[in-house]
Amino acid sequence: MTEPLLRVHDLHVHFPVRSKGAWPWQAPQRLKAVDGVSFTLLPGETLGVVGESGCGKSTLARAIIGLVPVTAGSLRWQGRELTGQAAKDWRTVRRYMQMIFQDPLASLNPRMTVGESIAEPLITFQPHLNRGEVRQRVWAMMERVGLLPSLVNRYPHEFSGGQCQRIGIARALILEPELIICDEPVSALDVSIQAQVINLLKALQRELGLALVFIAHDLSVVRHISTRVLVMYLGHGVELADRQALYNNPKHPYTQALLSAVPVPDPDAEKTRRVQLLQGEPPSPLDPPSGCVFRTRCPLADDECARAVPELKGPAEHRVACFKVE
């Protein structure tokens, strides 16, 4: 059996938040952005992460790559425990995991040329390379992601959103990492450009054997690129399944509601489609409900759901955190 690249077990990321008007001696509240998420990631696999805004997807991504501190739980990279590591230890691991951010233009330094932005990881992690070697690798990576090397001395504001995202992809890939974390990399792009970027990522994944953690709101995009899908709600993983199993047979009531809202390209089917509307707004992560965090909006909830937090259980290909699912 292939050993996982990444093991995340019972991961918690909490932030202290001081409410407006609180006295200086009052203890801050705890915002539970991620509250007990577990999964594994195999080499060459794509894990899609979906859920409403504020469910903890981006915080999970930043915790995996060490940009925010982990409150509790385990984060293991190729068997090496990362939680509690010093910054210098994280630096050596980050050579093998990189990130593509949501806003392609904002993620690039406006004072650096495209070539300088793409070359920066090489200069940081491989200082033994001379200027000619760095330049050749930057040009080769630009060609690989569909950019003309002749644009190397231009600045980010001279490019379109799709081109800026290609620059971000080139910068993430220049070190030949094993894991790329994509934090909603296509949400700010037009639909046609989204397709180009997704197809580029899939081609690069096949070519380089990359593992991806792909975060998105668009469930159609996630279905197109993912091997498995993790559904998050209020900091918890509520369903984790193979792509086909989740899309063909969603089991958690929250997943069913999400998938029912995905538009259907067939006009006749769209007219007869039944959307499962969720009642109310998601609770605040500062004051989550007792027991199952979804129970305040769940049509199946009863007293049992208020007493205990359901665990993510079931066979490896389809695990669900719900007392009402067999």
Q: Is 316 helix (H, G, I), strand (E, B) or coil?
A: coil
Lowest mean pLDDT among 5-14, 42-51, 277-286, 301-310: 277-286
What pLDDT is stored for residue 87 in this prediction? 79
Q: Mean of the pLDDT values across residues 167-190?
A: 89
* pLDDT tens, position by position, 62-121: 999 999 999 999 999 998 999 888 877 888 888 899 999 888 888 899 999 999 999 999
* pLDDT tens, position by position, 242-297: 999 999 999 999 999 998 887 776 676 666 777 777 877 888 888 889 999 999 99
What pLDDT is stored for residue 28 in this prediction? 85
What pLDDT is stored for residue 270 in this prediction? 64
Q: Say which amino acid occupies 218.
A: D
Which pLDDT band, with edges at 50, 70 and 90, does 161 fall under? confident
What pLDDT is stored for residue 266 in this prediction? 65
What pLDDT is stored for residue 172 in this prediction? 92
- The Cα 326–Cα 309 span in angstroms is 16
Q: Is 11 helix (H, G, I), strand (E, B) or coil?
A: strand
Q: Mean of the pLDDT values across residues 14-33?
A: 83
Both structure tokens of 138: 């930057």
Is the distance from CB of 295 to CB of 306 less than 8 angstroms? yes
Which pLDDT band, with edges at 50, 70 and 90, does 240 fall under? very high
Q: Say which amino acid occupies 198.
A: I
CA dist 191 to 125, 198, 206, Å? 35, 11, 23
- The Cα 166–Cα 172 span in angstroms is 10
Which pLDDT band, with edges at 50, 70 and 90, does 143 fall under? very high
- Cα dihedral 228→234→235→239 (10° resolution): -30
Q: At what angle do helices 161-173 and 114-125 cross, to 10 degrees?
A: 20
> Which strands sit side by side in the sheet containing 6-17, from one edge to the other?
29-41, 6-17, 72-77, 80-81
Q: Say which amino acid occupies 233.
A: Y
Both structure tokens of 192: 């046609």
Q: Which of 38, 46, 49, 47 is nearest to 218 (CA)?
A: 49
What pLDDT is stored for residue 250 in this prediction? 93
Q: Count Cβ atoms below 10 Å from residue 20 Cβ, excluding itself.
A: 4
Per residue, the 3-state secondary structure of 33-90, as one string, reads EEEEEEEEECCCCEEEEECCCCCCHHHHHHHHCCCCCCCEEEEEECCEECCCCCHHHH
Q: Mean of the pLDDT values across residues 12-32?
A: 84
In the predicted model, what is the mean pLDDT of the chain? 89
Domains of the chain, first to last: 6-15+30-96+177-320 (3.40.50.300)
CA dist 256 to 37, 160, 219, 247, Å? 20, 36, 12, 9
Residue whose structure tokens are 């409900």: 289
Lowest mean pLDDT among 61-65, 138-142, 196-200, 292-296: 196-200
Q: Count Cβ atoms below 10 Å from residue 26 Cβ, excluding itself.
A: 10
**Total residues belonging to the chain:** 326
Q: Which of 246, 111, 258, 104 is nearest to 168 (CA)?
A: 104
